[in-house]
Amino acid sequence: MKALQVTEFAPFAEHKVVDVESPAIKPGHVKLRVRAAGVNFPDILMVQGQYQVKPPFPFIAGAECAGDIIDVGEGVKHLKVGMRVAALPGVGCFAEEAVVPAEICVPISDKMSYEEAAGFVMVYATSYHALKDRADIKAGETMLVLGAAGGVGLTAVELGKHMGLNVIAAASTQEKLDVCKEYGADHGILYTEEDLKARVREITGKGADICYDPVGDKFAEPALRSLKWGGRYLVIGFAGGEIPKVAFNWMLLKELDVRGIHWGAWIPKNPKGHMTNMMELMQMYNEGKIRPRVSGAHKLENFADAMTELSERKVMGKVVLTMG
């Protein structure tokens, strides 16, 4: 089978898709014919040796995928050959076949394409966990979303609107803000050009109730200061580069809460809650309430094009690789 196999760390464009043996089935696992794989920033970091997880060589890159089950390992009862599933094993997905733990497979809707499913789990489940389990949202509140046209950002816009929030999208281009409006944003801020805090005040009067922040860096302080009394700041990630360091007095002055979100680490602590969230998300998809946005699909061999788009901030929603 073809796979993006990593034998040493190197800049992503120097890696190659090669022919390797298909992985052997294991107890408690299923084998997938991978149809599409979502590309995430950690995939780029991992092949370059810059990610906290460094699998032993050789390894196959790719954290998440969707495909058909073609073999079922010993002890697996709830999954059958032929089922369509999405999974996020962390590695092994940029390949024509992958062996993944049965417990992490999410059956996908018949209506959902493999491309949509390949990038669905991480971004939707992160935002849904943040908004449903962590943010204490009340209908009618206002949420500011940074990096709002990115993978997790756009799902926060869409889910936030669906959950009754007024949504202010902040992004770096007008084209991105237009996409956010299509996904439900009530207002847009070009945060690379406009004064973020002043614009939030102008739109809301007293400030936003919630900030969803997957970007960090220089935007974190004005975003935190744009919250009103009792606001909640959701720390999602640091796509902007720098991990922000803010003074505690901002939390004291307006009784703000800064709440960390670590979706991947939350799952093993609450596997039932995670499965419930996934089922609710699939139902929303089936009812047409959420629409995963795939901004580009590239063949596995052209993985570097997908990684370039992602690292150059050109992706709006998700970029995926397709196999076969």
Binding site for ligand NAP (CB under 6 A): 40-41, 122-123, 126, 147, 149-153, 171-172, 176, 214-215, 236-241, 261-264, 310, 313, 315
| 170 vs 256, beta carbon nearer ligand NAP | 170
| 76 vs 179, beta carbon nearer ligand NAP | 179
* Other Cβ atoms closer than 10 A to 106: 19
Q: How far is the CB of 129 from ligand NAP (least distance, A)?
A: 7
| 61 vs 69, beta carbon nearer ligand NAP | 61
Q: Residue 133 and residue 240: Cα distance in Å, rounded?
A: 25
Residue nearest to ligand NAP (CB): 150
Q: How far is the CB of 254 from ligand NAP (least distance, A)?
A: 24
Sequence-separated (6 or more) residues with CB below 8 Å from residue 315? 150, 151, 295, 296, 309
Q: How far is the CB of 65 from ligand NAP (least distance, A)?
A: 15
Q: Which of 220, 223, 215, 177 is nearest to 197 (CA)?
A: 223
Retrieve residue 184's tokens: 């439900």
Query: 112 in the Ramachandran plot: left (φ > 0), alpha (ψ -120 to 50) or beta?
Result: beta
| 118 vs 123, beta carbon nearer ligand NAP | 123
Q: How far is the CB of 220 from ligand NAP (least distance, A)?
A: 11
Q: How far is the CB of 14 from ligand NAP (least distance, A)?
A: 21
C-alpha R_g of the chain: 20
| 26 vs 313, beta carbon nearer ligand NAP | 313
| 4 vs 261, beta carbon nearer ligand NAP | 261
Query: Do residues 292 and 120 touch, judged by C-beta distance below 8 A?
Result: yes
Q: How far is the CB of 51 from ligand NAP (least distance, A)?
A: 10
| 60 vs 310, beta carbon nearer ligand NAP | 310
What are the beta bridge partners of residue 234? Answer: 212, 259
Q: How far is the CB of 162 from ligand NAP (least distance, A)?
A: 18
Q: Going by DSSP bridges, is the β-strand pair 142-145/166-171 parallel, antiparallel, or unpaired?
A: parallel
